[in-house]
Structure 1
Amino acid sequence: MKSLPLFLLAFACLLASAPAAEPQPDSEFTTTDPKKVKILEDSAREKEPEIDHFKHLCPGLAGYQVIHEGGDLRSWINLIYDGQKTDLMNDTLTACPGQFPAKANNVVQWRGFRQGGRFVPYAIIYRMRSSADDEKQTPLETLVIIRLDKDKSRVVGHLAAREGNEKAEALADKLCKP
């Protein structure tokens, strides 16, 4: 019976020295729904706009603000961190095949870890839609991946939306996870 407490003590020491399980990536979501964001500018509110245009301040996470903006039938998101805007327009539009790429829905997916009761994001995934250069103007959808790095955040990947969100999440985790 004396060996049982010694065995339990040794087992407890082994457990205490075992490495903690690595946190698993998770997702949170924010919106770009014009009914739920701050409208900074919008040609729909102008009497005779020269061209369609808008800029909406949308909720973000972990100190990031999302700017959904666009014009001339195109739209994308940019980020603001600590007052510094990151312009992602060119890289986003380049990542999308076809004509007139625009944000396809009101969802912004944030990838990150839960640490100490809070969510710490490292990537954004969002859906873009454009029209193919064919007779039917077939819709094309692309999932765009942004690596979060404060004011140095950038587009690091994209894939056809038909490949699925799971592949986009795996790519975001591979390219962006710290």
Structure 2
Amino acid sequence: MKFPDLKSRSLVDVVALLSLAVLVVTHLPAALESYRIRRQVAALLPLAADAQALVGGNALKGAAFDAAWVPVVLKNQAAVEIAAPTGIITLTFAEIGGGGKSLKLIPMIEAGAGLLPLAQAAEAGAVSSRKIIWVCTSSLTRSRNPYVMANKGTLESKYAPDACRHRAASADIL
């Protein structure tokens, strides 16, 4: 490999090339790590979709939200769980950000003035014909709904899917 003749380059050109090289060397590993983590998160989303369908079916039947669910733990230390009393689906990642970081999918039902947690709607017998709205939450989720804020995930929003970043995708967003 032949290196370019630096004598024919101006000092500005050399400094610009060196600056670009430093930027590439310092930022490329972080970008690759971010990409790897986002891929890991995306790999769990199909399992979350299965859990959502199960929670919806169990709510219609009046069964426990986690009935017939076997918690899923993957080889990369990621897990998908359903909370029996609330129907909240938690995707937990053991290898991200020191471990234990999570995305949470919170089941809600549209009620007159906003969204009602699925568990409360089920107790009131108001689930049968209503569509479940899944509110995906990460660490920077903001919502006017106190139930959403009390149950939000802890995964950094930069790693979360677009639907889970910053604001809860519901009628109650700020």
TM-score, length of structure 1 as denominator length: 0.36
Larger strand fraction of residues: 1
Q: When you count helix as a share of all residues, which structure comes out higher?
A: 2
